[in-house]
Amino acid sequence: MAKQEDIDHSLSRVPAEAKEPLWKILLIRIGSICCVSQLVLGATLGFGMTFWDAFWATMLGSVLLQVVSWALGTAAANEGLSTSLLSRWCGFGKGGSAVFGGVVAISMVGWFGVQNSVFGEGMASIIPFTDFLGGLEYPIWAIITGLGITLLVVFGIKAIANFATVFVPLFILVVLYSSWVVMQDHSLAQLISMAPPGPALSFGAATTIVAGGFIAGAICTPDYARFLKNGTQVFWMTLIGTFVGELGMNLLAVLLAHATGTSNVTEIMMATSSVVGVIIVVASTVKLNDINLYSSSLGLATMINALFNKKISRNALVWTLGIVGTFLSVIGIINYFTSFLTLLGVAIPPVAGIMVIDYFVLRRNRKALDASRETGTLPSKVENWNPVALVCWVVGFAVGESTSLLNIGIPGLNSLIIAGILYWVIMKIVASSKKVEHVMFKETDQVL
């Protein structure tokens, strides 16, 4: 029997026999979008925007990013590599993958803390311990939920898929039931045409929040898309996931916010589907949070390997990150939810732009990847560093942050596009000046 840490292939290709059916990975995808935080995001839009403004904010902030998600997922399905490991042969080299793996680890464990806060607060509101723990119900529940999710992730992608099989349908049914109850007292036309019940939310701020909420999921798509067989399966996964999860959940939450006059999703669900519905909705947070912790562990595994040429047990990394994320939720990271989303919406996208350009346009390492794929191994060499990619990442982030402050366009998309185009232009100029087809920086045969 294979060791547990080998099952999820954190530092190797996913072999053909370990690939999973499309429907299982699709449920993970939908589950990573259909969650409490998505309803919080949608209700935030609905509280400060009209229905159609929220619709277009969602379309511009997330649906366009599905192209990037599909591209990265297709590369992962082809190569069987996680996001952070794939980055070694998609522009960033071994050293760059360490930096990127660290960013992914920190970002996703931060998301883990945010989601666990939602989970813990929801459970505390349902089953309070006040009578015998002196009002400490939230910290206790945050610890229980955080460590419980950590235990689930220890068992790998199959356990995550099995959990999603149960809770994704339950979550969708409860949300649809809640919407149906609300519609009994309000006409659909009224909810669509009514003014937002809260302070106005600008279109730029809304699209940035939506993009920030999705970009982390887009960049980590390869972590589970690598278990699919090909790009066609990735296409259907992203398409169905977008319309069921991102667009569908957002707009339902907008209607719920309009109907109830609040952006508090827990209150909305309590008002429409009783405590049982809230239990299912809160438990559904696990579907997203297990992926957050899973991706964080893969990113950290890549970083440690790149820095120290060592393979650390994935289980040990999962437990370490799970405990850290749980601590973050206990100290109240949820209070920084919006600012955290905005930062992610600008800092992470440049990496996606560079990886897509390197893999699909420049194709610098495609021959090495194709040859090694035939034997199920990794390429025999990898760049140590790609300074151009790192500079373009920084420039992309700077541009995104500047446009965010100036309220120009969608900062996340600005940073992604600028970084990708700049990387392509500089690499082509350098290649032309050296009269070579592809620019390759100093390589090492110490791939792992």
pLDDT digit string, tens, across residues 399-443? 988 887 787 777 777 888 999 999 999 999 999 999 998 899 999
Residues 274-307 pLDDT 10s: 666 666 667 677 777 888 888 889 999 999 999 9
What CA–CA distance (Å, rounded) separates 24 from 164? 8
Ranges 125-134, 138-147, 417-426, 431-440: which has the least confidence: 125-134
* Structure confidence by residue, pLDDT tens digits, 60-70: 877 777 888 99
Roughly how many angstroms between the first and final C-alpha of the chain, as a whole number? 24
Q: What pLDDT score does 34 carry? A: 80
Q: Please answer whether residues 158 and 224 qualify as being in contact, where contact means their C-beta atoms are separated by less than 8 angstroms.
A: no
Cα separation, 289 vs 383, whole angstroms: 33
Task: Look at residue 139 in the predicted model and tell me its pLDDT.
Answer: 85
pLDDT surpassing 90 at residue 246: no
Highest mean pLDDT among 161-165, 190-194, 361-365, 411-415: 361-365
Interatomic CA distance for residues 205 and 404, integer angstroms: 9
Assess contact for 228 and 27: CB atoms under 8 A.
Answer: no
Q: Please give the Cα distance from 28 to 113 (Å, whole number).
A: 20
Is the pLDDT at 145 greater than 60? The verdict is: yes
The answer on pLDDT for 2 being more than 50 is no
Q: Is 270 a residue whose pLDDT tops 70?
A: no
| Chain mean position to CA 123 | 24
Q: What is the torsion angle, in degrees rounded to the nearest 10, for the CA atoms of residue 419, residue 420, residue 423 and residue 424?
A: -150
Q: What is the pTM of this model?
A: 0.85
Q: Name the residue type at position 401.
A: E
Helix 387-406 vs helix 349-356: crossing angle, to nearest 10: 130
In the structure encoding, which two tokens stand for residue 417, read together? 């596009």
Mean pLDDT of 145-169: 87
**Scanning the structure block, which residue is given the tokens 């897509």?**
356
Cα angle 141, 43, 39 (rounded to 5 degrees) comes to 50
Tokens 């009209």, residue located: 50
Homologous superfamily of domain range 20-332: Hydantoin permease (1.10.4160.10)
Cβ contacts of 420 within 8 Å, gap of 6 or more: 350, 353, 354, 356, 357, 396
Residue range 175-204, pLDDT digits in tens: 788 778 777 878 888 889 888 888 988 887
Q: Which residues are within 8 A (CB) of 151 and not within 5 positions of it... i.e. 6 or more apart?
A: none
Record the tokens describing residue 283, joined without a space.
């438990």
Task: Give residue-wise pLDDT tens across range 294-351.
Answer: 888 999 999 999 998 888 888 899 999 999 989 888 887 766 665 766 676 677 889 9
**Rg, Å, the chain Cα set:** 22
Contact 382, 447 (CB under 8 A): yes
pLDDT, residue 244, reads 83
- H-run or E-run covering 123: helix 93-126
Residue 383, strand partner residues = 443
Q: What pLDDT is stored for residue 207 in this prediction?
A: 78
Q: Which residues contact 248 (CB under 8 A, 6 or more apart)?
A: none
Burial of 411 (0-12, 13-18, 19+ CB in 10 A): buried
Cα distance between residue 180 and residue 232, in whole Å: 35
What count of Cα atoms within 13 Å lies in the side-chain half-sphere of residue 298?
A: 32
Among 156, 129, 131, 157, residue whose Cα is nearest residue 144: 129
Q: How confident is the model at residue 141 (pLDDT cuts 50, 70, 90)?
A: confident
C-alpha span between 291 and 273 (Å, rounded):
27
How many alpha carbons lie under 13 Å from residue 249 in its C-beta half-sphere?
Answer: 30
Q: In which band, very low, low, confident or very high, does the pLDDT at 264 lie, cut at 50, 70 and 90?
A: confident
E strand intervals along 63-132 = none
User: Where does 19-64 have alpha helices with state H?
Assistant: 22-33, 36-48, 51-58
Grade residue 262 by pLDDT with cuts at 50, 70 and 90. Answer: confident
**Domain locations along the chain:** 20-332
